[in-house]
Structure 1
Amino acid sequence: MKRTTIKTLAFAAALLSQFAAAQAGEVTLFSRDNFRGEEVTIRDGSRDLREAGFNDRASSLVVHSGVWEVCEHKDFGGYCAVFERGEHNDLRRFNNSISSLRQVERGGRGNGYGAGGFRDRDRDGRDDREERREERREERREEWRDRRDDRQGGGYNRPDPIELFEHARFEGRRVSFQGEIRSLRTAADFNDRASSMVIYEGQWQLCEHDNFGGQCAVYGPGRYDNLGPMNDKPSSLRRVR
């Protein structure tokens, strides 16, 4: 092979390498708003941020290069949105709710719409699934108000004092308890699954290990649509007051 041909091939390879580097995207996620707290940098996308120890933890992000689609569930499922290059110091809708992300083409989405594709069958400009989620949230709020009123009024429809939900915003499978649970694995097959919670009565301690071991946190009466640092961690719980 002639030397000029070798030089031409080497030059072309260098150009291709530079082009690929220019196309490669990079995004950094931060555990707190305004780019504070722990951070992780993603370059090749992630179908499940659990693998990076960052599932449902991001509160701000910086897109260094490329255009990125972030989704609330793994494998790009649930509600998704596209973030372009720049600093995003408050994720609002996605605060502590990102489970997967990938680089996409500008003005587009990933390879097909997938589980997180936009759906608007009634043509009102809103994602049908988001509308349904809002309806379910309102149903949950109504149910909680009814239970609260029953309890305050001395009615007989008395719910268990604590209720755990599999997903954020009171969605997915739910379980309720009246007293101490030393292992959610054996008591309800709900180990490391709780992402939101309603406490109707009392102060409750949630712990990340069986028998109240590891990191623990105490919560009072109220609705918690996202458990934050305890998301997908509770393995035991008990009433402390």
Structure 2
Amino acid sequence: MSTSIKSKTIYALLCATTVFAHAAASAGELTLFQDDNFRGRSVNVRNDVSDLSRVDFNDKTSSIVVRSGSWEVCKDANFRNSCRVLQPGRYASMPGMNDAISSVREVRRGGDNGPGRPGPDRPGHGGGRPDNNGAVLLFPDAGMRGQPVRLDNEVNDLNRYRFNDRAQSIVINYGRWEFCSDANFRGRCVVMGPGQYARIDGGLDRRVSSIRRAR
């Protein structure tokens, strides 16, 4: 074999090694825990799982650690129904999704967000928005801080999510939504459109009890 052919072969192998190493380094990983606060039986996930029944963990997740990558967790198999995207971090509880997760998959950058999902460049009110998908995000602290509750459908009583009278800031990614101070869309109600609301005004600060899409 000539020196030129050997050099090309070595170069090709080095390039292939670099590509595989980069892919391994960029692969995501998360751990699902059966109980809150990262207790109980756990399952490590490095690949998409369309049905957690395959690993005997369907509807059993109560807390999550996202070690790397961004992951979408969904209530139904095959990444359907209510879904939520989690960034790297520790989620000691899963409000609204406790014991209800059936499928998980890594969210690739630059990929299709799927129908009805906002892209990362969707404009917001006052700058960029948090890296979470969903129609509405309710935050327990002002300035979009704290563990948010992600909603895609109307909720007539936020007690179901243990989030009644707790919201202090809101992100609306799409649609116009009505927020009410009492359950079943009663009491004082305010309609808000897409944007970031670092502090809820209109007399609803820590008073939101129900939410629905405005007609």
TM-score for both structures, normalised by structure 2: 0.52
Query: Which of 153, 156, 163 pairs up with 1:130?
Result: 153
Q: In 2 relative to 1, CA 111–44 (structure 1 residues): closer, same or farther, beyond 3 Å?
A: farther
Change in Cα spacing, 1:129 to 1:90, as seen in structure 2 (3 Å) is: closer
**Cα pair distance change 1:33/1:128, threshold 3 Å:** closer
Equivalent residue in structure 1 for 2:48, among 45, 50, 54: 45
Given the alignment, which residue of 80, 83, 87 partners 1:84?
A: 87
In the alignment, structure 1 residue 33 sits paired with structure 2 residue 30? no
Structure 2 residue identity aligned to 1:58: T
Amino acid at match of 2:70: V
SS in 1 for 2:83: strand
Which structure carries more relative contact order (alpha carbon 8 Å, separation 6+)? 2
CA distance in 2, matches of 1:39, 1:81: 20
Instruction: Give the number of the structure whose alpha-carbon radius of gyration is greater.
Output: 1
Gaps of 5+ in 2: 119-134, 137-149, 159-215
CA distance in 2, matches of 1:128, 1:19: 35
* Counterpart position of 2:183: none
Matched, 1:11 2:34: no
Could you tell me which amino acid in structure 1 is paired with residue 47 of structure 2? D
Tell me which stretches of 4 or more aligned residues in structure 1 moved more than 6 Å: none
Percentage identity across paired residues of the two chains: 38
Structure 1 match to 2:103: 100
Give, as a single letter, the amino acid of the residue that structure 2 aligns with 1:105.
R
> Matched residue pairs, number?
126
In structure 1, which of residues 51, 66, 70 is the aligned counterpart of residue 69 of structure 2? 66
Q: Offset of 1:111 from its aligned partner?
A: 4.8
Alignment match of 1:22 (pick from 9, 22, 25): 25
AA paired with 2:153?
Answer: E
Q: CA deviation at 1:19?
A: 1.1
Q: Report what 1:228 is aligned to.
A: none
Measure how far apart 1:118 and its partner are: 4.8
How far does the alpha carbon of each residue in 1:166-209 deviate from its partner, in whole angstroms, 9 at most, with x for none?
A: xxxxxxxxxxxxxxxxxxxxxxxxxxxxxxxxxxxxxxxxxxxx
User: Scaled by the length of structure 1, what TM-score is found?
Assistant: 0.47
Q: Report the equivalent of 1:194.
A: none
Aligned to 1:56: 59
What 5-or-longer segments of structure 1 have no aligned partner? 120-124, 139-241
Q: Which amino acid aligns with 2:97?
A: F
Partner in structure 1 of residue 177 of structure 2: none
The one-letter code of the counterpart of 1:95 is N
How far the C-alpha of 1:112 sits from its partner, in A, is 4.7
Tell me by how many angstroms 1:13 deviates.
Answer: 0.9
Post-superposition offset of 1:105: 2.8
Letter in 2 for 1:130: N
1:200-219 alignment, distance < 5 Å:
none
**Rounded Cα–Cα distance in structure 1 between residues aligned with 2:24 and 2:38:** 25
